[in-house]
Amino acid sequence: MPHPARPELEKVKRLLQYVSFPIIILVVWQLLFYLGYIKPITLPPPSMVIRTLWEMSRSGDLARHIGISIVRVLEGFGIAAFLGLGLGTVIGLSRTMDRLSDLIIQVIKPIPPIAWIPLAILWFGIGEQSKVYIIFLGAFFPIIVSTIDGIRQTDHKFVEVARILEVPRSKLIRQVVIPGAFPAIMTGLRVGLMVAWMCVVAAELIAASSGIGYLIMDARQLSQSDVVLVGMISIGVIGKIMDSLIKQLEARLITWKTSFAGG
């Protein structure tokens, strides 16, 4: 009778499957550099990027820029979550509010946040407020739309049972509608946070002197492609960490949600 695979070996196997393809890409990338097919000015080799990453980490420059960007993102995302959840709940519960707001939401939603930069400068100047506003716009619409859709899609059987039992409206909303919409709300928050983090580069085009977006744009002007890649990698890694944290929070809050993730 075969012995079941040890959990430690299974973890190692999954880890190897997870990192094998990125490692192959890095090896091929480095090899192409050694063979002269790519130039460091256009695409620096992994060894050069890793060295730059180490130097910037050791000096503290990278952490400083990342920290400033994270603060901006959390400010914009926090405002977007507060307004998106609040307005989304009101609109989702009211057909009148839905009719009044649907057109303006559908018209404004497709406008990319970067297109708002000229107006943001006119309204808020070139300080922190304009940067936070651009990040807020990126996060706001995924949150409000997901909240509205989640509330609309709440199982009507639960609502009808609550009404038959003459449950007060405030209690119905708090104990039936909001919990039913919670998976959609959490999805909106996840997407909103990711979009907010992606918008940080656009936001830091506005007269910034710090932040990961500023670091990338400044390095581009100086033709420091290795620094550009360090900034891009930092954005990707931190975005993944943020998404994982939201997933863990969702898993803790929605204990009854069934996962259909493929193995």
CATH code of residue 214: 1.10.3720.10
**What is the span of the domain harbouring residue 98?**
46-253
Report the sign of the C-alpha dihedral through residues 114, 115, 120, 121, in that order. positive
1 in a structural domain: no
21 in a structural domain: no
Q: Is the pLDDT of residue 143 over 90?
A: yes
**pLDDT band with cut points at 50, 70 and 90 for residue 3:** low
Identity of the amino acid at 112: P
Q: What is the pTM of this model?
A: 0.80
138 in a structural domain: yes
- Whole-Å CA distances, 54 to 8, 76, 237, 251: 31, 30, 15, 34
Contact (Cβ atoms closer than 8 angstroms) between residue 246 and residue 71:
no
261 in a structural domain: no
56 in a structural domain: yes
110 in a structural domain: yes
DSSP 155-168: -HHHHHHHHHTT--
Q: What is the total count of domains within the chain?
A: 1
Q: Is the pLDDT of residue 263 over 70?
A: no
Can you point out the beta strands (E) in the chain?
none
Mean pLDDT for the stretch of residues 151-174: 69
139 in a structural domain: yes
- Tens digits of per-residue pLDDT, 21-46? 888 888 888 898 888 888 888 888 88
141 in a structural domain: yes
